[in-house]
Amino acid sequence: MPDDSKTGVTVLGLGAMGTALAEAFLAGGHPTTVWNRSAGKAGGLAAKGAVVAGTPAEAIAANGVVVVCLFDARSVREVLETGAESLPGRVLVNLTNGTPGEARELAAWVAEHDVEFLDGGIMAVPPMIGSPAAFVLYSGSRTAFDTHKELFDSLGESLYYGTDPGLAALHDLALLSGMYGMFMGVIQAFALIGSEGSEARSFAPLLKRWITGMTGFIDGAAEQIDKRDYTIGVVSNLAMQAGAGDAFAKVGEEQAISAELLAPLRPLMLRRVADGHGHEDLTGIIELLKIKK
């Protein structure tokens, strides 16, 4: 039940994630006010002690800390503009997914409303919120982070990335890029195995073993990238890997499985080899990803 000695918090947005956030704040004993565009999503939270506000302005006015978790940057701005009269003096924490540029733009807008701002990236799915597996990245006001860390820790481990409000979103999108790259490979692997009628679940343990082993590559890659030297500790050079890469297109044709998920990688490898870097590591293709502005 809410404990009046604890920091009160408002949650704007009761989708799957906003609901999980509000539940975790309530479970941590924090008095919690919620608002959602469509009525009817707050019943379960009200039963657990949440106050349900009728408008964004009413919800924002209710507490010193306001957490926003909506669909996208546009919906966040729309809702905050509606409740702008209540913003002065608040700490605003935007946990809606977005880009660094969107976070910086929102930070500039809320600064005009006398708001302390943190942007965040939630590294968890809703059922993980409040568990030790969840972590949330924050950037923006250091004072706001330090003052309310106990509140934020209700959601999972709170990690601060600096005063530039764009940095949490940058780290969030980098981590999601790693995740989606892995998912692409996992889905392709299951598609290939399935082309001969094998069950995915019997292949899954072997796939997990292989991918877990390959995470050992990350630290070495990081050293090569930081030193911009892709010859350090090479055990499987790029020319060899690019040559073997032809098999991914061929196996797709043989097994009638599209190779389009992995297709972008090989042209990058071949370009790098053609540029004279065949003796280096795969990591060097990072050089081809840098676009001059």
The binding site for ligand NDP (CB under 6 A) comprises 13-18, 36-38, 41, 69-71, 75, 78-79, 96-97, 122, 125-126
Least distance between ligand NDP and beta carbon 58 (Å): 15
The smaller minimum CB distance to ligand NDP, of residues 120 and 284, is found at 120
The alpha carbon torsion through 106, 107, 110, 114 (nearest 10 deg) reads: 180
Stated as kind and residue range, the H or E segment containing 120 is strand 116-123
The smaller minimum CB distance to ligand NDP, of residues 15 and 185, is found at 15
The smaller minimum CB distance to ligand NDP, of residues 79 and 168, is found at 79
What is the rounded distance in angstroms from the CA atom of residue 220 to the CA atom of residue 283? 9
Helices of type H across 63-199: 73-82, 100-111, 142-147, 149-152, 167-194
Least distance between ligand NDP and beta carbon 237 (Å): 38
Beta carbons of 6 and 29 less than 8 angstroms apart: yes
Least distance between ligand NDP and beta carbon 194 (Å): 26
Least distance between ligand NDP and beta carbon 55 (Å): 12
Least distance between ligand NDP and beta carbon 172 (Å): 8
If one counts every other C-beta atom within 10 angstroms of the C-beta of residue 28, the result is: 20
The smaller minimum CB distance to ligand NDP, of residues 64 and 126, is found at 126
Half-sphere CA count of 241, side-chain side, radius 13 A: 22
Q: Taking the mean position of all CA atoms in its chain, how far away is CA 213?
A: 24
Residue in the shown chain whose Cβ atom is closest to ligand NDP: 15
Beta carbons of 122 and 155 less than 8 angstroms apart: yes
Least distance between ligand NDP and beta carbon 253 (Å): 36
Structure-token match 């409040």, residue found:
130
The smaller minimum CB distance to ligand NDP, of residues 41 and 113, is found at 41
Could you tell me the two tokens for 220?
């070495």
What is the rounded distance in angstroms from the CA atom of residue 17 to the CA atom of residue 69? 7
The smaller minimum CB distance to ligand NDP, of residues 27 and 286, is found at 27
